[in-house]
Amino acid sequence: MGAPSAHPAHGVTFQLADVLGVDREIGWGLSTRRPLPQVREHFITRDLAGGFDDGEGTPDVVVTSPTTQVLDAADGQVRLAANEAGRGRAVYATGLPYCAQNSRILHRAVFWAAGQEEEFSRWAALDPRVEVAAYPDGRTTLVINNALEPVTTTVPTPQGPRTVRLEEGGHQWLTAPAQ
């Protein structure tokens, strides 16, 4: 997020630009029109309602690789991007202030970067405002409502999905019966 590995040298600002697929332009290149193909759907932004909130963000971030997928952009500049480089994956965000939606974006980004998209639903509530911490060995799951209003949602547990109702800012421990 922001300016990772930033050290202007060797023709780039982000020294990981080849992995991230984006770089911060600090020279005259901003006067050059660059294509900014934005993907309509992506695993990382699947729960994004409205626009992406990058807070103050980092200005002048541009695409540097043809494999970069621009997930969000504003004013011709990248705000959220995903890239596959070699056998790995990288995600870049110009900023990520805390809110429930950004928490879900970060959660999805970690699973996507790890190539574990199929595993995501095993560990995430249907409502993005709710976080889940599962402890399979202890047969317990902690469900946390980050919203300032009551929420009813379905959450995964080691014993299967359960519907829970949480008060604003509340949490609930779900414990599996002993075998």
Half-sphere exposure of 165 (CA within 13 A, CB side): 1
Give the model's pLDDT for residue 131: 94
Give the model's pLDDT for residue 29: 62
Give the model's pLDDT for residue 28: 64
Q: Cα separation of 116 and 122, whole Å? A: 11
Q: Which residues of the chain register pLDDT less than 70?
A: 28-33, 35, 178-179
* Structural domains in the chain plus CATH codes: 6-117 (3.40.50.880), 130-175 (2.60.40.1180)
Give the model's pLDDT for residue 9: 84
Q: Which of these, 95, 117, 144, lies nearest to 46 by C-alpha position?
A: 117
Q: Cα separation of 166 and 145, whole Å? A: 6
Half-sphere exposure of 29 (CA within 13 A, CB side): 17
Question: Which pLDDT tens digit goes with each residue over 146-169?
Answer: 999 999 999 988 778 999 999 999
Half-sphere exposure of 141 (CA within 13 A, CB side): 24
Overall pTM > 0.85: yes
The conformation of residue 21, written as its DSSP 8-state character, comes to: S
